Amino acid sequence: MRAAHITSHGELDQLTIGDVSDPKPASDEVVVEVAAAALNHLDIWVRKGRPGLTLTFPHVLGSDATGTVAETGAGVDSSLKGRRVVLNPGLWCGHCEWCLRGDHSECSTYSIVGLGRWGTFSQRVAVPAVCVSPAPEHLNAHEAAALPLAYLTAWRMLTTRGQLEAGETLLIHGIGGGVAIAGLQLAKLKGARVIVSSSKEQKLKRAGELGADDFIDYSKTQDVAAEVKRITNGRGVDLVLDTTGAGTWPINFASVRKGGRIVHCGVTAGKIAEVDIGALYWNHITVMGSTMGSQGEFQGLVAAVGAAKMKPVIDKIFPLAEARAAQERMETGEQFGKIVLEVSGK
Ligand SMILES: [Zn+2]
């Protein structure tokens, strides 16, 4: 089968589009014929490699996909064949303390499709049957492929972790990335007021079209936290959704209200930061980490998206053969929404 894969870590020239062996489903797995797949920063980190990451090559990249179940393992209900599904890209053991509680993304051996096993940038992908859910009917293949990783990550950050309520105010940095936009769309579904920041006027405009309430252009504003305080009449926001990491850490502490919450899911702008413990305790601030989400959270997301007929935001669609150009676009940071690879298109 055709797949975007790597045979060693490195830059874009290490990404090959060529033939690899077809996957075979284990007893508890299904093979999905991929209609479309979507990009995440994780794919780039996996391509480049990082300390502690050991892969067996060749390795197929990609975590997000939608498609049709083509094969079922011996222990899986064969009536799943032919179903149009979306994948929860999480991989969990099913029997550790956290899995037994249903907190699958806290699993002691948690990994992700495209990281812990071959990914979705391919004509076929084998995944645990427990990870597939019916694709929302109002979404086409490109939109359904864009849903899993980014929207699941944002969903858990806003619900289980952030406990965002209607009428609360949320700050999202760097609107344009997949999780940031997902956070904006899902927070608006929940009835929150959302402040977004970007250095690009065009991205702020697009965020406004998605319902963002207030805008901070940090190419023009030196002090983002002061601007947040001005917008909130000196109070500060209830919650910050941060996908970027160390660069915005001090801004978050200066932007939340007393008793406010900060939830992190990424380190694209650095992973080591200093904490003002005085500000932390005096202001009753809660800082949380969050990764992906459980299967229960995934099903909650799919149901909420279906009920609201919400559509993921697509930046650009590339054919699988142009996976390099797609990753190149992601590395420029120019995108607004998800970058999608069309595979079969069906
Ligand atoms: Zn587990």
The pair of structure tokens assigned to 287 is 């800082």
Ligand 1 center from residue 105 Cα (angstroms): 8
Domains 2-147+312-342 and 152-289 share a fold: yes
pLDDT number for residue 268: 86
Q: Is 234 left (phi over 0), alpha (psi -120 to 50) or beta?
A: left
From the list 179, 180, 146, 148, the residue with the least C-alpha distance to 317 is 146
Ligand 1 center from residue 181 Cα (angstroms): 29
pLDDT digits (tens, 9 = 90+) for 215-236: 999 999 889 999 999 999 999 9
- Bridge partner list, 134: 85
pLDDT number for residue 346: 74
User: The domain 2-147+312-342 is classified under which CATH number: 3.90.180.10, 3.40.720.10, 3.20.20.70, 3.40.109.10?
Assistant: 3.90.180.10
Ligand 1 center from residue 303 Cα (angstroms): 24
Residue the block writes with tokens 């406010």 = 260
pLDDT digits (tens, 9 = 90+) for 284-339: 999 999 999 999 999 999 999 999 999 999 999 999 999 999 999 999 989 999 99
Domain positions in the chain are 2-147+312-342, 152-289
Ligand 1 center from residue 219 Cα (angstroms): 44
Q: List the beta strands (DSSP E) in the chain.
A: 2-6, 15-19, 29-38, 59-60, 64-72, 84-87, 90-91, 111-112, 124-128, 132-134, 169-172, 193-198, 214-217, 237-242, 256-264, 286-289, 314-319, 338-342
Stretches in the chain below the pLDDT threshold 50: none
Cβ neighbours around 147 below 10 Å, total: 28
Residue 88 CB-density burial (10 A; 0-12 exposed, 13-18 middle, 19+ buried) = buried
- Bridge partner list, 29: 128
pLDDT number for residue 243: 95
Ligand 1 center from residue 109 Cα (angstroms): 6
Cβ neighbours around 221 below 10 Å, total: 15
pLDDT number for residue 222: 82
C-alpha separations of 329 from 70, 177, 315 in Å = 31, 12, 10
CATH class of 152-289: alpha beta
pTM: 0.96
Ligand 1 center from residue 345 Cα (angstroms): 34
Residue the block writes with tokens 């919400």 = 310
Ligand 1 center from residue 128 Cα (angstroms): 14
